[in-house]
Structure 1
Amino acid sequence: MLGPLQSAVLGQRGFLFPWSPVFLAIGIGGYFALKQEPAITSLWLAGLFGLGCILWQRRLGATWGPMLLALGLTALGFSLAGNRAHQVAGPVLDFRYYGAIEGRIVGIDRSASDAVRLTLDEVVLERMSPAKTPHRVRISLHGEQGFIDPKPGARIILTGHLSAPNGAVEPGGFDFRRHAWFLGLGAVGYTRTPVLLLQEAGRGQSVFKIRMRYSAHVQRMIPGEAGAFAAAVTTGDRSGMGQGTLQALRDTNLAHLLAISGLHMGLLAGFVFGALRLVLLALPATRHRRATKKIAAAAALMAASGYLALSGGNVATERAFVMVAVALCAVVLDRRALSLRAVAIAALIILCWQPEALLGPGFQMSFAATTALVAVFEKISKMRGQRRAPRWSVPFVSLVVSSAVAGLATAPIGMAHFNQIAHFGLIANLVSVPIMGLVVVPMAVLAALLLPFGLDWMPLALMKLGLEWILWVAQTVAQWDGAVGTIVAPGPLVLPLLALGALFTALWQGRLRVVGALPIALAAVLWAQTDRPDILISANGALVGVMTDQGRALSKEKGAGFVAQNWLENDGFGGDQALAAALWKDRPAPRRAQVSLGPWSLVHLQGKRAVAAYQGCEGEQILVASVAFELKGACRVFDPSRLKQSGAVALWLSDGQLRIKTAASVSGRRLWNGADPRPIAFAWAVPAVRAGTAPDQ
């Protein structure tokens, strides 16, 4: 037994380092998969154990040493994730608040409803002690706003609604509450009244102020959606982008051009590196100096650092900067700039710094694309004795291969997170990415250099042409028949299995790498057999969705739009809420919807009048209400008072039995939600519990 194992490990000598972030990620994923928050002492013990394994592994030789190192990295990842969760802890609002809200603007963006959204710190809430006040809140601005030009660092006051960040819209769905915890958001809400300025921006927030000032300048120079696009790719400010434009970019798989990620950072660093090296080679004083390459790399690193600061430094940009910095430092140190080792170093830095990034699509798609590209091009570079393509065709072939490889590597992740696939995304990228690299990014760099001389209008004019071309491509391709396909959301094991198989295929050396196809095949089978719930109930009882042969029927046409959109996307349903509501046929009274489901019947009551008008509680009946109420009878009741304990609810009907899964039972009792991981005991209206029903553990 030890012979084959020892042989396999020894055969990977020199290629084991890229596995380091994989085992670190396994530990991080293990922390987030827990249903119960571990004690802080166990986190520290795991960290010490991990460090001990890492330090001790060299003494165990070439066979057992790597195994102990893998165990140590896993334990260390678990510890890092847990300690990070405690590090960002802050007060979370535990009730619905309405009143005065005061704070300093530290973030400006746009919500999914196309409203300007402000993030505030130094928050003051009426009649609330500072110890219980959230450190940060995020507020969407609706209605007529007198304060229409929010400035970074300005102190404002408004009257608005706040509540705790919501949990998943269905059991196992995206947990916004966890996401908000790591963003430091203790409450989210909205206002429909004008925002008032209390105090002009003072000192501090200097980088944020420069970003927004430059964003406003770019949008003045380039009006319309092209200017908003230019501001997004130069400063990371998307507050000017309309939802129609954003949707067209998503539908054509061009949204990655909007986010300041590896493509932008790599193009900028590559442009500065190449341009400066050409200048140094052209000057007689530096032409024959061997350090010109290193000088150019150092200058490119400085330019990338400035771009990081200007862009706002979100997770995606930080990740891109780390990868570019690793590559440029490798050039300075006479090492290979692009290798799986460099990718692994970047992943280790990001995971140690922000372990929660592992759960986001940005991290997953970025490293999936980069790993696949490096692995494929390393394989191509090792091919010997084959006829090379003509030199003139190399750029085109490289573009096609890189777009295809990156698209294939990120497609499953994008489908799993966003439930759609852009069928013509490769075409859109082939005609847009070269314009981004040859026109938009170089002109953005020149505009920044010429800004002090007032000559930035010239490169910005060319930049406008490039961005208008990309927007035209997005809007045109998005209108083609069949441009967007929908796909059902996968179960929790699908993405980990896909990642395991793909990583084994890319990182393992030798013929045994074909074993990586097994978990990929298993993930595909599990995805194809995804069992969507027969009934979904929102966390406040405001919306119900019942699966039919034509898709999920929704109990109302308007309201709870975010929940409805997510349910339909997870179902792989291509229609909107109005179309889904039309599938619900039985509406016997205003604000009342009902449907028969075999031996069961479901009734959704919306509002106090509908609840007051409803009489009785019949047999095998499921009652859902948007307001709290009590009924006598043998029916099952889901109302806000009960749903507050459970969150959203999913139900499956099989052979006359009712199986229940709640959002609380899936997310467990964690720092960010405080939910009870034990099954929620939904009582019948009468004391006896009927046979044939069982909560899903």
Structure 2
Amino acid sequence: MRNGGLLGRPALGHPLDALVAARGTLFVWAPVCMAGGIGGYFSLSREPGAGLWMLCGLGLALVLVWAWYAGPRWRPLALALALVLGGGLVAAARSHWVAAPVLGHRYYGPVTGRVVVLDRSLSDFPRVTLDRVMLSRVASEATPARVRVTLRGRLPGITPEPGQVVMITAHLSPPPGPAEPGGFDFRRMAWFDRLGATGYATSPLMLWQPARGAWLGRLRMDLARAIRARIPGQPGAFAAAVATGERGGIARATADDLRASNLAHLLAISGLHMGLLTGFVFAALRLALALIPPLALRLPAKKIAAVGALAAAMAYLALSGGSIATQRAFVMAAVMLGAVLADRRALTLRSVALAALIILLLQPESLTEPGFQMSFAATTALVAAFGALRGRAWRPGAAPLRAALALVFSSFVAGLATAPIAAASFNRLAEYGLLANVLSVPVMGLVVMPAAVIAALMAPVGLAGPALWAMGLGAQWILAVAHWVAGLSGAVVPVVTPPGWVLPVLALGALLLMLWRGRLRWGGALVMAAALAGWTMAERPALLISADGRLAGLMTPSGRALSSATAAGFAARSWLENDGDAAARDAAAARPGFAGSKTARTFDLGRWSGVVLGRRAAPDMLQAACRKDAIVITAAAAPGFRGPCRIFDAGSLARQGAVAINPEGDRLIVRRADQVAGDRPWVRMPRPYSQRRRDGGPPMSRGGAAR
């Protein structure tokens, strides 16, 4: 027998024979290999030139030829390498395909554009995203494709609706960089959303042209208003968010309770909602056909039900606004229903892998988003766990008991799979998230989503009232559970941000444990243990400086002390969250570490002394403060200033971003945000847009200060 194998299976004498033996299960690793190439692209510190990408394309072609002619031992490796190269090329192509102008300076003036997205900011103000933007004194080729404006005005204005062309006087800036070196870089997310400026307005929003087209957006708003009218209070806002994706009515307190109880995922129209919707429609259609024997005997009821469920998923995608998370959920549902149409088992790891491949090809940037990571982590873990249980003889009790145990088991597996991602991304663990999900997800699946489908079917004949009443009861129960769980002692556990390598290595170990067949899979547990050990050794910077120079954060034995209780609120919140510190900003500012007046806050960092100077005090105090072994931080610009100190002024910070400092002997190890972020399209500004201002002003830096 060939290679001494048994039953046609080659003997494992050669190291690559393990791949030959596992060739029937290797497809599930295809998205992992592609993700490796995409992740490699996003981890680069410098954007490769066209020549290097041409070499990669040539290499991909050669590897594909090698895969065609290679034997069974080398073909899996060749295909894996091709997927890695293909992932990098797809990510690069997407990055340059979405390129759009980024505002190169601070702007104050009229902003005109069409409303495309309505949501709320972190500060709970309404917010609009506009496309087809026009800015005064800014050329069309330098105008961002999209801008986002937070509406802080107290004067009444119009209620914006999708499709309206509106005008407002706003303050705009380029998308901000990370709050600290290596932190979350909003610029990258904005780049792929073609969002070239963000800002705020205190003046009222005015209607320039009524909505034309965008009928789906207006229908969505009308449905949300109708649901909130029939279901009062926050349950109505929750029901509207679930049905239409419109979350403008969700109060800040409600959102906080949902996050603290690990139920915030119920607000985002994602895989859970799409799965519940399509599952209910599929089951209802199949049952309806089964109740009519002539049809059940003559028609493929299962496939007809799958087509109907797919149509419902498409309608839900269109009605909900088609967010990135909803698009991912639709792709996953379409793959599963396509498997039913092809007479294949729907819930398999191959189906999950195919859905992941499609999404990574269309939106490779999704790999860096917590939504993608958590969706596929939960789905993969659930399919793998139930697959491992399939065929086992252990079947406890009656059907209701089995259903209850399956629910608890599903919540446990999904929560375990997503917990590290949630902790790394949001710096918190919901201690009682399993309890909240066990009490809420069944109501979501058995009451809220079926009632939403029935209400949609009965609304044209005016009989949606009973279904909406049931939907409101379900929403009320979920919010009550969220409020109760969020109020429990220790409901939220703060978590320190892990080193950048931890999450990818942890994911690789988990995938090896779930996907590999054979004893090598247990090596995944060792890889995961190493990653978790690395997480526990995470170190935070001794001193952080905000990108505007108005705030410094000093690590002390009692936690990070802040130089101000009011300055740079977003940076302060981000620093404390990344430290795994649950203290409020005021409490952190009251910690010992800084002394002196508000205009000159002094501190010590090892043998170095430091001072944070206010903008107005800096001209008079800068010379005296700048001495040997001193760190001077100021929100004022100090062009041309020379002295023996290390100075971080508004000009240098505007060019280089936030700063992290660690003392090491007689040296200071300084990391700057833009040095860590590298020379990437979303970091650097396109030359035509950043070199000059249209109003004749001086060239501007990224932060808006004149060089």
Specify if TM > 0.5: yes
Partner residue in 2 for 1:135: 145
Of stretches 390-399 and 420-429 in structure 1, the one that deviates more from structure 2 is 390-399
Q: Distance in 2 between matches of 1:376 and 1:479?
A: 32
Q: Distance in 2 between matches of 1:271 and 1:578?
A: 49
Residue of structure 1 aligned with 2:246, choices 237, 247, 250: 237
Partner residue in 2 for 1:35: 45
Partner residue in 1 for 2:530: 522
Partner residue in 2 for 1:502: 510
Q: Distance in 1 between matches of 2:609 and 2:573?
A: 25
Q: Is the 1:51–1:76 Cα contact (8 Å) retained in structure 2?
A: no
Work out whether 1:63 is the aligned partner of 2:85: no
1:306 aligned partner, one-letter code: A
Partner residue in 2 for 1:156: 166
Q: What does 1:237-636 align with in structure 2 at a 5 Å threshold? A: 237-289=246-298, 291-383=300-392, 385-386=393-394, 388-584=396-592, 586-616=594-624, 617-629=626-638, 631=641, 633-636=643-646
Q: CA deviation at 1:317?
A: 0.9
Instruction: Please state whether the residue corresponding to 1:15 is helix, strand or coil.
Output: helix
Q: Distance in 2 between matches of 1:613 and 1:55?
A: 69
Q: Is the 1:297–1:331 Cα contact (8 Å) retained in structure 2?
A: yes
Q: Distance in 2 between matches of 1:585 and 1:533?
A: 15
Instruction: Please state whether the residue corresponding to 1:346 is helix, strand or coil.
Output: helix
Q: Distance in 2 between matches of 1:485 and 1:266?
A: 30
Instruction: Please state whether the residue corresponding to 1:63 is helix, strand or coil.
Output: coil
Query: Residues 345 and 632 from structure 1, CA distance in 2 versus in 1: closer, same or farther, beyond 3 angstroms?
Result: closer
CA deviation profile, 1:164-204 (whole Å, cap 9, x unmatched): 001111011001001100001010000011111111112x2
CA deviation profile, 1:67-86 (whole Å, cap 9, x unmatched): 00000000000000000000
Q: Distance in 2 between matches of 1:130 and 1:620?
A: 49
Residue of structure 2 aligned with 1:74, choices 81, 84, 92: 84
Q: Is the 2:12–2:18 Cα contact (8 Å) retained in structure 1?
A: no
Work out whether 1:218 is the aligned partner of 2:254: no
Partner residue in 1 for 2:668: 658
Q: CA deviation at 1:668?
A: 0.3
Q: CA deviation at 1:609?
A: 3.1
Q: Is the 1:155–1:199 Cα contact (8 Å) retained in structure 2?
A: yes
TM-score of the superposition, structure 2-length normalised?
A: 0.93
Q: CA deviation at 1:615?
A: 4.8
Q: Distance in 2 between matches of 1:662 and 1:8?
A: 46
Q: CA deviation at 1:241?
A: 1.1
Q: What does 1:181-192 align with in structure 2 at a 5 Å threshold? A: 181-192=191-202
Q: CA deviation at 1:672?
A: 0.8
Q: Is the 1:554–1:584 Cα contact (8 Å) retained in structure 2?
A: no
Residue of structure 1 aligned with 2:188, choices 173, 178, 181: 178
Q: CA deviation at 1:110?
A: 0.5
1:43 aligned partner, one-letter code: W
Instruction: Please state whether the residue corresponding to 2:660 is helix, strand or coil.
Output: strand
Q: CA deviation at 1:7?
A: 2.1
Q: CA deviation at 1:152?
A: 1.1
CA deviation profile, 1:501-537 (whole Å, cap 9, x unmatched): 0111111101110011222111111111111000000
Q: Is the 2:158–2:207 Cα contact (8 Å) retained in structure 1?
A: no
Q: CA deviation at 1:462?
A: 0.8
Residue of structure 1 aligned with 2:102, choices 92, 105, 120: 92
Q: Is the 1:34–1:668 Cα contact (8 Å) retained in structure 2?
A: yes
1:85 aligned partner, one-letter code: S
Instruction: Please state whether the residue corresponding to 2:327 is helix, strand or coil.
Output: helix
Q: What does 1:85-124 align with in structure 2 at a 5 Å threshold? A: 85-124=95-134
Query: Residues 7 and 546 from structure 1, CA distance in 2 versus in 1: closer, same or farther, beyond 3 angstroms?
Result: same
Q: Is the 2:562–2:594 Cα contact (8 Å) retained in structure 1?
A: no
Instruction: Please state whether the residue corresponding to 1:653 is helix, strand or coil.
Output: strand
Q: CA deviation at 1:584?
A: 4.1
2:651 aligned partner, one-letter code: S
Q: CA deviation at 1:56?
A: 4.5
In the alignment of these two chains, the number of paired residues is: 674
Instruction: Please state whether the residue corresponding to 2:484 is helix, strand or coil.
Output: helix
2:369 aligned partner, one-letter code: G
Q: Distance in 1 between matches of 2:53 and 2:196?
A: 24
Q: CA deviation at 1:542?
A: 1.4
Q: Is the 2:234–2:250 Cα contact (8 Å) retained in structure 1?
A: yes
Q: Distance in 1 between matches of 2:405 and 2:299?
A: 31
Query: Residues 488 and 599 from structure 1, CA distance in 2 versus in 1: closer, same or farther, beyond 3 angstroms?
Result: same
Instruction: Please state whether the residue corresponding to 1:61 is helix, strand or coil.
Output: coil
Q: CA deviation at 1:350?
A: 0.2
Q: Distance in 1 between matches of 2:557 and 2:242?
A: 44
Compute the RMSD of aligned alpha carbons.
1.7
Q: What does 1:6-21 align with in structure 2 at a 5 Å threshold? A: 6-21=16-31
Structure 1: unaligned runs, 5 residues or longer: 677-697
1:444 aligned partner, one-letter code: A
Q: Is the 2:162–2:217 Cα contact (8 Å) retained in structure 1?
A: yes
2:378 aligned partner, one-letter code: A
Q: Is the 2:637–2:651 Cα contact (8 Å) retained in structure 1?
A: yes
Q: Distance in 2 between matches of 1:516 and 1:402?
A: 22
1:480 aligned partner, one-letter code: L
Q: Is the 1:261–1:316 Cα contact (8 Å) retained in structure 2?
A: yes
Q: CA deviation at 1:145?
A: 3.8
Q: Distance in 2 between matches of 1:44 and 1:247?
A: 48
Q: Is the 1:668–1:675 Cα contact (8 Å) retained in structure 2?
A: no
Instruction: Please state whether the residue corresponding to 2:539 is helix, strand or coil.
Output: coil
Q: Distance in 2 between matches of 1:3 and 1:210?
A: 64
Q: Distance in 2 between matches of 1:317 and 1:287?
A: 33
Q: Distance in 1 between matches of 2:74 and 2:593?
A: 65
Q: Distance in 1 between matches of 2:134 and 2:140?
A: 7
Q: Distance in 2 between matches of 1:95 and 1:43?
A: 32
Q: Is the 2:455–2:463 Cα contact (8 Å) retained in structure 1?
A: yes
Query: Residues 68 and 405 from structure 1, CA distance in 2 versus in 1: closer, same or farther, beyond 3 angstroms?
Result: same
Instruction: Please state whether the residue corresponding to 1:438 is helix, strand or coil.
Output: helix
1:267 aligned partner, one-letter code: L
